Amino acid sequence: MEKTSPPPDPPAPPAPDARTGTRGFLDATVERFVREFRADRAQLFLYDEESNTLTLRAAHGYPAFGRATIVLKLGEGLSGRALAERRPIYTEMASTMRGYVDHPNFPDGDTQTFLGIPLLRGRERIGVLSLLRRTGHPFLAEEISSARLKAAEIAAAVQNAGALLLAEHGAAAAAGKGILVPTEQMSFRGTAVSNGWAMGPVRVSKPRPSLLGGPDAPPLPPAVRGFDEAADLVEQTLRRLAEDLDKRLPEAASMLLEADTMMLRDENFAGRIRDLVAGGTPLPDAIAKVSSDFIAIFEGSDNDYLREKARDVEDLALRLLEAATVADPADRDGTRAATIVVAERLLPFDVLRIARDRAAGIVLCAGGATAHVTLLVRSLRIPLLIVKSRDPLRLPDGERAILDCANETLYVHPAPALVRRFENRARDESADRRLSLSASEHTATRDGESVRLAANINILADLDAAVEAKAAGVGLYRTEFPFLMRQSLPSEADQAAIYARVLARMPDRPVTFRTLDAGGDKVLPYLYKTREENPALGLRSIRFSLKYPYILDQQLRAILRTIQDTGRDDVSIMFPMVSTIEEFRAAREHVETCLAALHGEIGDRPVHAPYVGTMIEVPAALGVIDALAEESDFFSIGTNDLIQYLLAVDRTNAAVAASYAPHHPAVLRALRIVAGAAARHGIPCSVCGEMGRDPRYLPFLVGIGIRSFSLEPTQIPKCQELVARLTVPQCQEYARRLLSLSTLAEIEAAIDDFSRATFG
């Protein structure tokens, strides 16, 4: 077929000139459409093909425009859909349409009549013009046709304006767009990377100069000290940071920094810098040159881990440049306690410094967070929100803000009512902490049946909260964190040091270590780089451990050596995601082999053997549950994954999350099967997962015979209160009732009735 060229452009308004300016032209275009089509509000978005985003460039009827803006991905919102699908979208009830997005700074609650017209040149996307009228005032068919025709007429001129705006962007970015001083509450929507909230003054992290620079980049400042002195200064700073963080993140404080200190001594890096300096190159330029070469090599890799390594090199190089050129680098120390840090990009060192200074939260603008940064902020319990807009970067330091990850919103200059709401939340959380202090050592139902509430532990810092909540031990210690944070496998000694700290913090309470749960979304990139199409069903957990037996044996030796050193007989090892009896036998054989080897090392001392158990998370385990119960010392039911796999629902996927139903009859019956097998074979059975702390499901679990739960430490006091309001016969009858029902609706009604009668 012969290719056809796009039709010639129709007559269009003149391109913007020096008298009107690009922005003036876009504003005038919007006002023209508002007048001609009697619109109450209007928006003009321009499309950037490189970033695949639409940015609001002109608007009518929105007081916040000029102080805030909207950035949409192609296909997001009704405007984004109109451009993505290259067709107009018209509706008289916009909020009911698929893809509708409500922007707090640009509310459309009273203007639900929406007409979105894509601006196109042939198939090329330029932007979209959206006209809105008050609810109940429709656009007539002839008005829609006329608006489409006029939009086609201006497409070429709008495209020209867009090109001019892109040309202006570089200079505007360098000069800045001026300070944004809100006079009323503004909101910025984003994507939450971690949980929690924060309220406090904003502190904007100023961008640091790029190492890669360019021919027009300003020269680097002169050196005030030599390379060796600068390297020593950086190493001292890194070590102080590790010491400061040791109490909050002992698993990673030293591990994160060891690669940097190693690189400082590496001849391929440090040696090349010294050689350049010896040849007459100024030290700052030598640091920039060698670092840029390393960064380019790593960024050119097809390996995710190596690409992220480029950021670590940049981090180290910036430290070196600062140490080499600044008389007192400590003067650059930026963030302070209780602030909300706003930045365009953060490197791992920045996060560590923020953590050291105990900042309250982080907002990243118009960018993303690397896996390293994401894992750090989650582990450090720092709320982090990524917003699309760059406007928060223009806020003055000290401007009050509220960061709410639950609602994925940053509120700037919050209204008094909103401030009061979060102050009340802070008081409620303080009351919860006081409740933790008043928790009892013993948990029992109203009729005296003992129930064990142990703690889930992610990092060592969680142990303080577990002790404070009077947890009955550690029901689940997740051992993967040191593996994920390092740039290489942690040694047996590294692991043993961590496990020893866990046992020392729980000297008289049982502890269960879950072996490495790698794979899925917890990839060890330094080990292998295979990207799986469906990682949730791929090489993870016990499959991963058995495929890499040297990693499993090293971890088991570290746990077993710690048990022998402490003389503990109340320590357990648990294998995750077991699906066959062969998997469990193979894993247990590794325990026995490692224990036998240790027996030869410790001589005549008694050997302390751990309990070895199975985590029930895979539906296949239900078919061999009695065989597993015969050979396991205990069961722990991982309800989160068991439900996910039973129902084939990813609860983190918004499209199907509503189908994640812990009360599905198949889930309830599966739980009864596991509890029944454990009871028949006389082994303990605990529940580890969110069902265990939910008042809707806790009575059911008690009713089928579960007497041990492992929870997040902060959930223990409330769960203790719930248990104290139950009786065993009441829970047994409740469980029988739910198990007799076959539909979700019937079960939901029964749960609601029981919850109202029992908990009010």
Q: What is the pLDDT of residues 619-654, one digit of tens each?
A: 999 999 999 999 999 999 999 999 999 999 887 676
| Most confident stretch, 58-67, 244-253, 641-650 | 641-650
Q: Average the pLDDT over 494-512 and give the result.
A: 94
Q: Average the pLDDT over 509-538 and give the result.
A: 79
Q: Are 667 and 640 in contact (CB under 8 A)?
A: no
pLDDT over 80 (residue 385): yes
Identify the pLDDT of residue 1.
Answer: 38
Identify the pLDDT of residue 528.
Answer: 57
What token pair was written down for 712?
């997040």
Identify the pLDDT of residue 437.
Answer: 67
Identify the pLDDT of residue 13.
Answer: 45
Q: Average the pLDDT over 382-405 and give the result.
A: 90
pLDDT over 90 (residue 666): yes
Indicate if 413 belongs to the active site: no
- For residues 114-127, one letter each, b for 16 or more C-beta atoms within 10 angstroms of the residue's C-beta and e for the rest, the string is bbbbbbbeeeebbb
Identify the pLDDT of residue 525.
Answer: 65
Confidence of residue 16 (pLDDT cuts 50, 70, 90): very low
Range list for CATH 3.20.20.60 in the chain:
451-759
Tell which wins on pLDDT, 313 or 163.
Answer: 313
* Residue 403 DSSP label: E
Q: Average the pLDDT over 120-145 and give the result.
A: 90
Find where tokens 């933790």 sit: 436
**Residue 373: closest CA among 353, 359, 394, 393:** 353
> CATH assignment of 190-412, given 3.40.50.10540, 3.50.30.10, 2.40.340.10, 3.40.50.720?
3.50.30.10
> CATH assignment of 22-177, given 1.20.1440.230, 3.40.630.30, 3.60.15.10, 3.30.450.40?
3.30.450.40
* Residue 374 DSSP label: H
Q: Average the pLDDT over 30-49 and give the result.
A: 92
Q: What is the largest CA-CA distance in the chain?
A: 97
**Residue 635: closest CA among 617, 604, 613:** 613
Active-site residue, selected from the candidate residues 372, 413, 663, 664 = 372
Q: Are 341 and 354 in contact (CB under 8 A)?
A: yes
Backbone angles phi, psi at 58, to 5 degrees: -155, 150
Which pLDDT tens digit goes with each residue over 433-474?
Answer: 776 666 788 999 999 999 999 999 988 888 988 998 999 999
Amino acid at 174: A
Identify the pLDDT of residue 688.
Answer: 93
Active-site residue, selected from the candidate residues 365, 405, 688, 731 = 688
pLDDT over 50 (residue 335): no
- For residues 185-195, one letter each, b for 16 or more C-beta atoms within 10 angstroms of the residue's C-beta and e for the rest, the string is bbbbbbebbbe
Lowest mean pLDDT among 111-115, 309-313, 501-505: 309-313
**Residue 373: closest CA among 474, 485, 448:** 485
Confidence of residue 190 (pLDDT cuts 50, 70, 90): confident
Tell if the pTM clears 0.85, that is, is over it.
no
Identify the pLDDT of residue 214.
Answer: 54
Q: Dihedral sign for Cα 96, 97, 101, 102, please.
A: negative
Q: Average the pLDDT over 355-369 and give the result.
A: 81
Range list for CATH 3.30.450.40 in the chain:
22-177
**Residue 704: closest CA among 718, 685, 688:** 685
Lowest mean pLDDT among 107-121, 658-672, 732-746: 107-121
Share of the chain above pLDDT 90, in %: 47
Indicate if 685 belongs to the active site: no
- The superfamily (CATH) of domain 451-759 is Phosphoenolpyruvate-binding domains (3.20.20.60)
Range list for CATH 3.50.30.10 in the chain:
190-412
Identify the pLDDT of residue 257.
Answer: 62
Per DSSP, the residues of 233-296 read: HHHHHHHHHHHHHTTT-TTTHHHHHHHHHHHHH-IIIIIHHHHHHHTT--HHHHHHHHHHHHHH
